[in-house]
Amino acid sequence: MNLNQKIAHLVAIFFLAITASAAAQDMRPAQVITERAEMKMLAPSVEVPGTVVSRYDSRLASELAAKIVWIADVGTEVKEGETVARLEDFTFKIREMEAQSLVEREQALVTFLESEVQRLERLSDQNLSAKSQLDRTTSDLSIARSDHKIAQAQLGYAQIAMHVTQIRAPFDGVVTERLRNLGERLTVADEVLRLVDPGSLEVVARAPLSTVNFIEKGNVLALSNDYRAGDAEIRTIVPFGNPQSHMFEIRLNADAKTWTVGESVRLTMPTAAAKEVLAVPRDALVLRREGSSVFKVTDQSTVAQVQVIVGLGAGPLIEVFGDLASGDEVVIRGAEGLSDGMAIEILPAAID
């Protein structure tokens, strides 16, 4: 055998080895992930839009006509009762001092008249003039006591005014917006800043009246948007529908760890009573020209292609009709390259 023949022989052996290796690889079982078909309570549903809001979202206003001398920055986290803005308080301090002095003056008068009444009561048994003077002094004491109460009320108003020169947080929250700035003069009821509690969230949605008979307080509905998904419990159903839009409002508790104030979400709402059906994950369906099918795992670690007819769907599940039973394993990942009778290797479900 000459050199050229030896080279040709070696090349042939090399290509035969490659072909054998490729064939061996082609014979390896296809790797798939499976789930079981199960009997489930499903109901037809519709998606409706909703918005994540805070249950505590307030625009805090001034109760006085005064100038802002300090205001919290946007993003400041505060606890209930902490100051978020302060107003100039010179005028209100003077009014409080004036009211305090008036209370002390009226108290002094009451104390004097009380002692006079006690003195005249001792003298009234001895002469008539003392009796007449006692009546006048008793009347003056009653008036003085009333004036003292009025002065105390005026002091209370002055103290309240001093108290509200500091605008305080009515709940734990975050300053999300300044509506007025440092140095601006306010009038009564002028809004100063916006405070939002990001830890107490709910979803507000308006749903068709056709769904109202199929939900109730405490039901859990699926929520989703383009970025995340989750569940939420119905907190309340507003029992009045809008006659023009044929919609009603529902509110659901939302997890503050998952959602953010202002996010748009979609709610899955049932439109009919739930019924028990044989359901598989939507990912199990293989859509081809000849129709819908699933790949069922057999006892021989192979798959059998089963033609199915789909029914109602709810979330990730869909009803199917065909040669399937509850408990059958169907392929949900890796079905694209399968064919009837192909050998498979089932991977753990955690591997995607």
Residue 78 has a CB neighbour count (10 Å cut-off) of 17
**Domain 28-42+275-346, CATH number (from 2.40.50.140, 3.30.465.10, 2.40.420.20, 3.30.530.20):** 2.40.420.20
Identify the DSSP state of 341: T
Structure confidence at residue 274 (pLDDT): 82
Most confident stretch, 178-192, 234-248, 269-283, 313-327: 178-192
Integer Cα distance of 2 and 101 in angstroms: 128
Which secondary-structure segment (H or E) carries 129?
helix 128-163
| CATH of region 60-87+166-196 | 2.40.50.100
* Strand pairing category for 344-346 and 30-36: parallel
Integer Cα distance of 76 and 203 in angstroms: 25
CATH 2.40.420.20 placement within the chain? 28-42+275-346
CATH 2.40.30.170 placement within the chain? 45-55+201-270
| 70, 144, 153 from 103: Cα distances, Å | 32, 11, 9
pTM above the 0.85 mark? Answer: no
pLDDT band at 352 (very low <50, low <70, confident <90, very high): very low
Q: Does domain 90-163 have CATH number 1.10.287?
A: yes
Integer Cα distance of 342 and 29 in angstroms: 8
CATH 2.40.50.100 placement within the chain? 60-87+166-196
Q: What is the DSSP string of 63-107?
A: SSS-BEEEEPPTT-EE-TT-EEEEE--HHHHHHHHHHHHHHHHHH
Q: Is the pLDDT of residue 289 over 90?
A: no
Mean pLDDT of the chain: 87
Give the model confidence (pLDDT) of 173-197 as tens digits: 999 999 999 999 999 999 999 999 9
Alpha-carbon torsion, ordered 287, 288, 294, 299, to 10 deg = -150
CATH 1.10.287 placement within the chain? 90-163
Give the residue carrying structure tokens 């918005």: 51
Give the model confidence (pLDDT) of 86-136 as tens digits: 999 999 999 999 999 999 999 999 999 999 888 888 877 666 666 778 888
pLDDT > 70 in the chain, percent:
90
Q: What is the mean pLDDT of residues 285-300?
A: 88
Give the residue carrying structure tokens 């760890």: 257
Structure confidence at residue 351 (pLDDT): 46
| CATH of region 45-55+201-270 | 2.40.30.170
Which secondary-structure segment (H or E) carries 289?
none
Report yes or no: 192 and 85 within 8 Å, Cβ to Cβ. yes
Integer Cα distance of 155 and 148 in angstroms: 10
Give the residue carrying structure tokens 């005249």: 120
- For 173, what's the count of Cα atoms within 13 Å in the CB-facing half-sphere? 28
Structure confidence at residue 10 (pLDDT): 52
Integer Cα distance of 130 and 45 in angstroms: 93
Structure confidence at residue 61 (pLDDT): 97
Q: Pick the closest to residue 223 from 234, 236, 212, 239 (CA basis).
A: 234
Give the residue carrying structure tokens 């405490």: 218
Q: Is the pLDDT of residue 167 over 90?
A: yes
Structure confidence at residue 29 (pLDDT): 86
Instruction: Give CA angle at 11 (7, 15), nearest 5°.
Output: 175
Residue 348: left (phi > 0), alpha (psi -120 to 50), or beta? Answer: beta
Report yes or no: 184 and 115 within 8 Å, Cβ to Cβ. no
Structure confidence at residue 5 (pLDDT): 54
Residue 54 has a CB neighbour count (10 Å cut-off) of 22
Sign, CA dihedral 174-177-179-181, equals: positive
Give the model confidence (pLDDT) of 3-60 as tens digits: 555 555 554 555 444 444 444 445 688 888 999 999 988 888 888 999 999 999 999 9
